[in-house]
Amino acid sequence: MTDFSQIPQRLHEYPASDRAKEIVKKSLTTDSLYSGTWPEQWSPGAPEFHDIMDELKAAGFKMIAACPQSDKPGTTFLDAIKSLEGWLKKLNERPESYKIVRTTRDIDEAVAAGKLAIFFTHQGSKPFEEDLDRVAVFRELGYAYCLLAYNLRNSVGDGCVEPENAGLTSFGKMLVDAYNRYGMILDVTHVGERTSLDVCERSNAPVISSHSGAYSVFAYPRNISDERIKAIAATGGVCAMNMVGAFLDPSNPDIVTTDILFQHIDHMVNLVGIDYVGFGSDYIPDITKTAQIFQTPLGDLGFPDGGVIKAAAAKGIPSANPARIVAALVDKLLENGYSEEDCGKFLGGNLYRVFDQVWH
C-alpha cells in the first residue's frame, strides 16, 4: 500500500503574516467541507483525530462541515448512520472540545466556550431512500446540508459528469421543497448544471456550492459555471472554494498554491461580489484508501472525468491542508486589495448568514 503521507503537499507549510493569522482567529472561520469519511479516510481507529482538530482550532477555525460519508453504489440510510457513529464516537471522547451545532445560537455558544463547532454533511442524497421526511431526521442529527447528487444521475437529477445534463426530476422538485420545509440547505456541489439551475429557481431559500472552483478558470466538470455562480448568488447563497489541485489547475500540481486559489476566488468575487464566496477545502486527513480507489475501475465509474482524478490519485491527490493554508490565503487576498472585512466574510461570515436564514 502506497504511503502518501510524505508527498510534497502533505509536508508543505504556507508562511503567513501575523496580521493574516489574527484575521483568521478573530473571524468565524469555517471549512464548509472537511471530508474525513468514516472509516475510509482515517487511519485505523483515527488516533490522529484530536490532533487534527486541535490544529484547525489553533489556526483559528471555529466551525467545520464534517462529512462522514459520500454516496457510493448501493449507499443506504444505515451506511450513513454507521459512518456518523464513527464521528460521534471521536467527538464524545472529548466533549469539552466540540459542540454539534444545529442553529446559529449553537454556533455562538460553541465559539463563546472555545469549542470547535461541528455540523454534518453527506455528499449525495441516497441515505434519504426517497423518503422526504427523512430530511427532517438528518437535520435533527446535525446535518446542515446534503448534496443532491454525487457526480452521477440519481432519482433527483443529474450529477456533474452526466453528458446529457438533464434537469431536476419530479421527485427532485419534491426533495427541494422538503429541504426548504425542514431547514436543510441545498448544496449543488457535484451536481449537474441544468439540475443546479433548476434547484436555484425552485428553492425559496439560499442555495450553496460547498466546495467547487470556477469553471471559467479551469473547465473541469467539478467546477461551476458563471451562470451557476450567479444563480447561487441570486438566491442569497455562497459559492465556497475547493482546494484539490487537480480540480483547479490543469497541470495537476504537486502543491496547491494560493495563486491558483486566488484566481478562482477573485473570478467569483468579480462576478457576484464578496458576499457570496466562501472557503471549503474538501481536505481528506488520510488519503491512502481514497487515492487507491480512484486508480481502479471503481474510480472511473464514480468519477468519469477523462483520467484527471486517476492522475491526481497516482500522486496522492494533492490538496491543501486548511489549517496550514488559510492565513496565507488571507495574505493573498489582502495583497490584492481585499479588506479585512472582506476576508471575514469569505472565511465564514457569509456562510453564517445563510445558516441564520435557513436553519430552524
Q: What is the CATH classification number for the domain harbouring 97?
A: 3.20.20.140
Within a domain: 197: no
Within a domain: 87: yes
Closest to 282 measured CA to CA, from 309, 320, 246 = 320
Give 143's strand partners. 120
Query: Rounded to an integer, what distance in angstroms lies between the CA atom of residue 134 and that of residue 150?
Result: 18
As a whole number of angstroms, the longest Cα–Cα distance in the chain is 52
What residue type is 31 in one-letter code? D
> Is the pLDDT score of 43 beyond 80?
yes
Helix (H) or strand (E) holding 69: strand 63-70
Cβ pair 21, 327 in contact under 8 A = yes
Within a domain: 199: no
Within a domain: 171: no
Cβ pair 154, 174 in contact under 8 A = no
Q: What is the DSSP string of 83-108?
A: HHHHHHHHHHH-TTTEEE-SSHHHHH
| The pLDDT value given to residue 222 | 96
Mean pLDDT of 148-163: 96
Within a domain: 304: yes
Could you read off the pLDDT of 285-304 as tens digits, one per residue? Answer: 999 999 998 898 877 777 88
Percent of the chain surpassing pLDDT 70: 100
| The pLDDT value given to residue 306 | 87
Within a domain: 201: no
Could you read off the pLDDT of 79-98 as tens digits, one per residue? Answer: 999 999 999 999 999 999 99
Within a domain: 322: yes
Q: Where are the beta strands (DSSP E) in 182-295?
A: 185-187, 207-208, 239-241, 277-279
Per the listing, cell 467527538 goes with: 91
Average pLDDT, the chain: 96
pTM of the model: 0.97
Domain count, the chain: 1
Residue range of the domain that includes 310: 8-144+185-190+207-358
Could you read off the pLDDT of 191-250 as tens digits, one per residue? Answer: 999 999 999 999 999 999 999 999 999 999 999 999 999 999 999 999 999 999 999 999
Within a domain: 301: yes
The pLDDT-based confidence of 1 (bands split at 50, 70, 90) is low
Mean pLDDT of 135-164: 97
